[in-house]
Amino acid sequence: MDFSIVKKAAFGLAVAASLTACMSTGPALKSSNSESVAGVEARLPYANYTNYYGYVDQGTAPQGKYKGKDAYYLYAWVPAAVDEIGVSMVSPAEGTPSDSDFVNELFTELHESNPNKFFDTYIVLDRLDIIDNAKIKDGGKSLQTLTYNDDSSELPANPGGQSYNSLLRQVSDISNPTKALVRGVYRISFTSFRGDVEGSFEATVGTNVPGVKIASSLEELHNLVNEG
Ligand SMILES: [Ca+2]
């Protein structure tokens, strides 16, 4: 056996591993701000990220309709005015929840036994008329649909190799009251325009403020914001 070749191979692997480590740039969801690195324009990450791991089962009741399709909701509490909000949704969930992530009960129950169950995501961001943290559970209505996205090539492809996962960004416009990203509750509606919504997902919200919380109901969000 020629040990020099084995050594070379091992050295090559070590170099490849360290290059990969250097190239790792955190979450796939990046902000609209970019900087030039070695002549290549690269998007900068958000200062803060909040993750939510969920699962939609066949028996999960839809919470509304979007363009005739069954829609499900996530609610995000943003504790201060932000200059920009970014949202991504990837299905199936690929990461493992950490202690600071929000995890739906159904995800804990079903993801492990159905790790490859996924759907083609489509997300819509609305601003709700709830700005008082003590009144989140009282509900509210959408003031404005801010933006939406179906497919983004910035995110990892699905297991079928298709870039069908979703990513959106909304920049605050403080001169326009309906487009100023004030403190309050934002709703992320999700659905699918290719097949049904069934399987696991990981939703991520990026902003420049800490303390964003995500829940699947306003009651749950109220408790997270006011008791935790
Ligand atoms: Ca999609």
Round the average pLDDT of the chain to a whole number and report it: 90
pLDDT of residue 153: 97
Cα 212 to ligand 1 centroid, rounded to whole Å: 25
Flag the least confident range among 24-33, 119-128, 164-173: 24-33
CA dist 180 and 81 (Å) reads 8
pLDDT of residue 25: 56
Are 202 and 89 a contacting pair, CB within 8 Å?
yes
Are 202 and 74 a contacting pair, CB within 8 Å?
no
Are 214 and 104 a contacting pair, CB within 8 Å?
no
The yes-or-no verdict on residue 11 having pLDDT over 80 is no
Cα 190 to ligand 1 centroid, rounded to whole Å: 10
Cα 213 to ligand 1 centroid, rounded to whole Å: 24
DSSP at 137? G
CB atoms within 10 A of CB 208: 15
Tell me the per-residue pLDDT of 164-206, one tens digit each, with 9 for 90 and over: 999 999 999 989 888 899 999 999 999 999 999 999 999 999 9
Cα 192 to ligand 1 centroid, rounded to whole Å: 7
Pairing of strands 142-149, 69-78: unpaired
pLDDT of residue 87: 98
Are 208 and 71 a contacting pair, CB within 8 Å?
no
Contacts of 51 (CB under 8 A, 6+ apart): 95, 97, 98, 100, 101, 102, 202, 203, 204, 214
pTM: 0.88
Cα 112 to ligand 1 centroid, rounded to whole Å: 23
Q: What are the percentages of helix, strand and coil residues in the chain, rounded to 5?
A: 20, 35, 45
CA dist 70 and 47 (Å) reads 33
Instruction: Provide the β-strand partners of residue 169.
Output: 86
Residue environment code for 22-48, b if the CB has 16+ CB neighbours within 10 A, otherwise e: eeeeeebbbbeeeeeeeeeeebebbee
Tell me the per-residue pLDDT of 131-167, one tens digit each, with 9 for 90 and over: 999 999 999 999 999 999 999 999 999 999 999 999 9
Cα 72 to ligand 1 centroid, rounded to whole Å: 15
Tell me the per-residue pLDDT of 80-111, one tens digit each, with 9 for 90 and over: 999 999 999 999 998 899 999 999 999 999 99
CA dist 201 and 83 (Å) reads 26
The yes-or-no verdict on residue 20 having pLDDT over 60 is no
Q: Residues 61-75: what's their mean pLDDT? A: 97
CA angle 17, 47, 136 (to 5 degrees): 130
pLDDT of residue 228: 59
Ordered domains of the chain (ranges, CATH): 47-227 (2.60.120.380)
pLDDT of residue 12: 47
CA dist 114 and 200 (Å) reads 8
